Structure 1
Amino acid sequence: MAPKTHFLQQEAIRAVGRALIYAVLIVGGLTMILPFYWMITTSLKTPDEVVMMPPQWIPFCWKWDNYRIAWEAAPFGRYLLNSVIVTLLSTLGELITSILAAFAFARLRFYGRELLFFLLLATMMIPGEILLAPNFVTLTELGWIDRYEALIVPWTANAFAIFLFRQYFLGIPDELYAAARIDGSGDFRYLWRIMVPLSTPVIITSALIKVIGSWNAFLWPLIVTNSAEMRTLPVGLTAFVYDTGKNYELLMAASSMIILPMIALYLVMQKHVVEGIARTGIKG
């Protein structure tokens, strides 16, 4: 009886521990979801319900028309087009540069490779704000201010993305590279025909991180754009705040239109993100 009693006590302790962990996770999840819930419900309220005290958690009258009014109150169509162009081209550019650089660091043998990779990683410790002024001056000299080049070109390379791809490439067996070389395959063909197809998880991970970051970027687009025609969605939303004043329901509707696509994209692709991040540590 004593061993059985001890076993039951251990099971009870484990059950209590799991219950506490689940409770903490549920509370944390609800805390994270609450701002999004409030944003969406506020976007569907009337102006009177927005300022009602105590707060009205569920709208009495669901005003879906707020989204139409918000969309027509500013040139969000143009903002959306700019954000899509900048996000797609900067993501494509980052993938190309990261894959090529990571392949060189992972497979090619050249003098100073480890030192160069160390210096590349060291750049990740430099705050981005320090580079704003010199980058702005450089783009001004090139005549790129208030143009797509200023929004795209500086963000087509990323040290963290190169690190992710390099770590993943190191996990691909060396025998594949040796066999490809014996068959007469060049480095670029091996990269394109073998390594890239095998790297789908990390490609999706890197692309998703870049898409979300580029879509939500605010400070840099604010600095390098002057006209409304070149504004991206976050910058356009800031201008919309000044135009709408205290129409919080319209502001929340506009914010929802900007944020929800990225949330949906992440929920769809989260499995690939976890897989890509996990596999980058297979081999150091």
Structure 2
Amino acid sequence: MLGFHGENSESSLEKTFQNSSDSLLFKVLCQFVSCEIQESLTSTRIGLDSDAKTIQFDCPSKAGAARLLRMSNSIAFAIYGVKETLKLGFLPKLEILCNGQPFIPRLSPEKLVSDNFMSSSNVNHSISSAELADLDLDLNELYRDRDPVYITQMFDQKVLFANQSALQSNNRAAGEMVGKEITALWDDDVLSQLIGRLERDRQLWQYSYPGYRWSRDPNSRIWRRDRYMFVANYKLVEFLGSICRFCVITSAEKIQTPVF
């Protein structure tokens, strides 16, 4: 039986626990960032300071810290995913260090994400600030909204944001939905028609269409798709450098025949 004795053993155990926690944090964070950012993070020590409610990114060089700063908008959005996956009771701030020394002040993910969203414009059409203001992009508030809310990347159909209601309605955790393609919940022709309408009109209000939600029976490992008739509001926006559709589901009526 392995025993631990004295202060050195306690210190060693604490260090082992901390390294495991940091490793888990890195793995969760990588679920929500691009391969380019993942590569930049491999040489960065990442740790969660629960007391300061901060995720620290300690880079080995100023060049690495500066590169991470340029990616801070994307990392800030990923922190939302970390918060939900690890069930944190707070939204951590982002702090970039260089060899243990502060490189820049702590950044608020909420402000970074909101500012990036509100200042964006469509590639083909300029979206005015007034139009974007209608979205009320307080992501904390959106997360608590009773209606399912999604932000989905148009070019690859990956979900960049799903609020609590959207996750619960699909019986999924954030890590199982955010960053994943959503095409399995659409019929090809229905999705193609929506994309065409959005590219033409840029927004759709009380738009009706058939689709699916994930479901499974208690104690079962088998997932199925339940068919629904949805009514939703859509808006074409640019979010974190990508053209996306912002969706709020206002009504969902289940069609009784399940599709496996």
TM bracket, shorter-chain basis: under 0.3
Structure with higher Rg: it is: 1
Which structure features the higher share of strand residues? 2
User: Scaled by the length of structure 1, what TM-score is found?
Assistant: 0.25
User: Scaled by the length of structure 2, what TM-score is found?
Assistant: 0.27
Question: Could you say which structure has the greater relative contact order, defined with CA pairs below 8 angstroms and 6 or more residues apart?
Answer: 1
Which structure features the higher share of helix residues? 1
